[in-house]
Amino acid sequence: MRRLVLGCGTIGHDIVESLVGRPGDLLVVTDDSGRVTALRDSTVTATEADPTDPSNYPEFVDMVVVGGDDATTNLTAADRARERYPDAFVLAYAGTNADEADIRAMEELADRVIDPVSVAADRVLGAAVGDHAERMGRLLRALRSVEGTLAVVAHDNPDPDAIASAVALVRIADFAGVDAEACYFGDISHQENRALVNLLDLRMRNLEPGEDPREEYGGFALVDHSRPSVNDSLPDDIEPVVVIDHHPPRAPVDARFVDLRSDVGATSTLMTDYLHGFGVELDGQVATALLYGIRIDTRDFTREVSEDDFDAAALLLARADASVLDRVESPTVGPEVFDTLARAIGEREQRGSTVASCVGEIRDRDALAQAAEQLLNMEGVTTTLVYGYRDATVYVSGRTRGADIDLGETLRDALDQIGSAGGHADMAGAQVPLGILSEVDEASKETLTDVVRDIIAGRFFETLETAPRPPAFDSSPAAFPPERAEE
């Protein structure tokens, strides 16, 4: 990070002190000779010069802090800095004498404005100049590097967390001045997910598999998953501009901006953090979607939940539409769900406290997850696996409760070599291509089901014998760095 501080009043000096020692370069330009001397004595590179004169600025910086005391001078400095560094993150203090008009004008120039009231709060000031602001700056630069429309891609057959995160990132792209569209492959077939999209009128484009979207979009962002072609139908050679996910990854993630934080329970929590940090207004539509995304992925705050999840939910709750949430959670259940559940019960194979069930050919893959949830209610059952096939692919959904295994890692170990798998310690899924096995006539369906059962259940039960244990969930910063570029 290369940081430039323009002006160094009382607040600017506090900001400089918080930046000293951070990795990267720091240059202060101020016309206060006393400040320059004091800063140099503290080994800070400082230049005595006019902070509103671009000739005193370095060639390139990542972040600009406007920190003088005078509102008029700060407005001029912010205007010159924005013109000189259009892609930099600009953090500006409005000034001790700033009025509402000054603050509004500053908000047109800067990515984050600190007004004279909010600077009194150490928490706001710390968030404004710390790792969070730097992360926001990198996200803005990545978004603004896109020429054309950005496709914000959720994983295939998106769940509420992916849906809400995609819509939220579109809002952030709009804040950055970038055209963006929320997209997904597959279907939104789960009745609650359909209700969420329809009741909130969320705009999402359903992409067609097999078509190369690079002909239409200038860049791609992935939310709630981290690699193209893994749990989405993008070409595997696409290089994403942005990746934001809360799942623990397993292979290197390559993008201009990567935010992988497995210390939170939902990607919607991360998106709420960004929206709040940028000061983007949280309307009822987005707030309701994000709150539901957090609730679903944390199982109503009972699974892998962190302090950040609670903070995000508290922020969203005041803006969310409770009546819409009530309607989303009480949708009409289609007959396919009941059919799949009946087959899962009838075809179950139980070993100890684990149940695996092959339901054969399916029409609604989301019914698998609902069946896996319901089977957990059986007495003596702590782990369930329900799977079926459609369109030359076997879809697998697993759940566990009270078992000492990491289900996501278990499915990876069992099925990654023949397909793709992953998820959480207690909720996971997989997809396995049928390949040549799918080329059978109707009379052979029973044989195909038997083959699928032998492969999936066989590998799963074998892997259970040495199943990985679930990780201890530690939400401390030391346990989980805020950003990781590898899995």
Between 188 and 21, whose confidence is greater? 188
Residue 427 phi/psi, 5° resolution? -155, 120
- Whole-number pLDDT of residue 468: 72
129 pLDDT band, cuts 50/70/90, is: low
120 pLDDT band, cuts 50/70/90, is: very low
Between 483 and 129, whose confidence is greater? 129
Say if strands 427-433 and 420-423 run parallel, antiparallel, or are unpaired: antiparallel
Could you give the percent of the chain with pLDDT greater than 70?
90
291 pLDDT band, cuts 50/70/90, is: very high
Say if strands 63-66 and 89-93 run parallel, antiparallel, or are unpaired: parallel
Section 238-261 average pLDDT? 89
Section 28-41 average pLDDT? 92
- Whole-number pLDDT of residue 117: 64
Contacts 24+ apart (CB under 8 A), 78-81: 78/6, 78/106, 78/109, 78/110, 79/109, 80/52, 80/53, 80/54, 81/4, 81/6, 81/57
484 pLDDT band, cuts 50/70/90, is: very low
Q: In this structure, which amino acid lies at residue 487?
A: E
Candidate ranges 125-129, 130-134, 228-232, 339-343; pick with highest mean pLDDT: 339-343
- Whole-number pLDDT of residue 422: 78
Contacts of 156 (CB under 8 A, 6+ apart): 184, 185, 186, 231, 232, 233
Beta-strand ranges (E) seen in 200-319 are: 205-207, 219-223, 242-245, 257-260
CA neighbours closer than 13 Å in the CB half-sphere of residue 106? 27
Beta-strand ranges (E) seen in 230-367 are: 242-245, 257-260, 348-351, 354-361
- Whole-number pLDDT of residue 333: 66
Residue 257, classed as helix, strand or coil, is strand
H or E segment at 185?
strand 180-185
Could you give the percent of the chain with pLDDT greater than 90?
51
Q: C-alpha distances in angstroms, 4 versus 46, 176, 186?
A: 10, 21, 46
Q: C-alpha distances in angstroms, 157 versus 153, 168, 189?
A: 11, 18, 7
Please state, as a whole number, how many other Cβ atoms lie within 10 Å of the Cβ of residue 101: 9
- Whole-number pLDDT of residue 124: 40
- Whole-number pLDDT of residue 399: 92
The pair of structure tokens assigned to 267 is 């990607």
Section 159-170 average pLDDT? 96
Asked whether the beta carbons of 30 and 46 are under 8 A apart, the reply is yes
Give the tens place of pLDDT for each residue, 444-470: 556 888 889 999 999 999 998 887 776
Alpha helices in 176-321 (DSSP H): 191-200, 267-278, 284-297, 307-317
Which position has the token pair 């207690």?
426
215 pLDDT band, cuts 50/70/90, is: confident
Section 229-235 average pLDDT? 87
Q: What is the mean pLDDT of the chain?
A: 86
Closest by CA position to 158, among listed 197, 188, 194: 188
- Whole-number pLDDT of residue 72: 95
Section 134-158 average pLDDT? 91
Asked whether the beta carbons of 369 and 428 are under 8 A apart, the reply is no
The DSSP secondary-structure symbol of 322 reads: H
Using the predicted structure, report yes or no on whether residue 472 has a pLDDT greater than 70. Answer: no
Q: In this structure, which amino acid lies at residue 211?
A: E
Asked whether the beta carbons of 240 and 217 are under 8 A apart, the reply is no
Give the tens place of pLDDT for each residue, 62-75: 889 999 999 999 99
The pair of structure tokens assigned to 348 is 């179950």
Asked whether the beta carbons of 93 and 78 are under 8 A apart, the reply is no
113 pLDDT band, cuts 50/70/90, is: confident
- The fold adopted by the segment(s) 335-464 is Diaminopimelate Epimerase; Chain A, domain 1 (3.10.310)
Section 352-375 average pLDDT? 90
- Whole-number pLDDT of residue 405: 87
- Whole-number pLDDT of residue 434: 87
Section 371-384 average pLDDT? 91
247 pLDDT band, cuts 50/70/90, is: confident
Contacts of 128 (CB under 8 A, 6+ apart): 15, 91, 112, 114
In sign, the C-alpha dihedral spanning 205, 193, 433, 485 is positive
Which position has the token pair 């793709």?
420
218 pLDDT band, cuts 50/70/90, is: very high
Structural class in CATH, domain 2-129: alpha beta
- Whole-number pLDDT of residue 280: 87
- Whole-number pLDDT of residue 125: 44
Using the predicted structure, report yes or no on whether residue 267 has a pLDDT greater than 70. Answer: yes
Contacts of 264 (CB under 8 A, 6+ apart): 246, 270, 306, 308, 309, 475
Give the tens place of pLDDT for each residue, 73-108: 999 999 999 999 998 889 899 888 888 899 999 989
Residue 12 phi/psi, 5° resolution? -60, -40
Say if strands 63-66 and 150-153 run parallel, antiparallel, or are unpaired: unpaired
- Whole-number pLDDT of residue 121: 38
- Whole-number pLDDT of residue 135: 85
351 pLDDT band, cuts 50/70/90, is: very high
Using the predicted structure, report yes or no on whether residue 10 has a pLDDT greater than 70. Answer: yes
- Domain-wise residue ranges, the chain: 2-129, 147-328, 335-464
Using the predicted structure, report yes or no on whether residue 480 has a pLDDT greater than 90. Answer: no
Closest by CA position to 178, among listed 216, 150, 209, 215: 150
* Second-level CATH architecture of 147-328: Alpha-Beta Complex (3.90)
- Whole-number pLDDT of residue 163: 97
d(CA 429, CA 259): 23
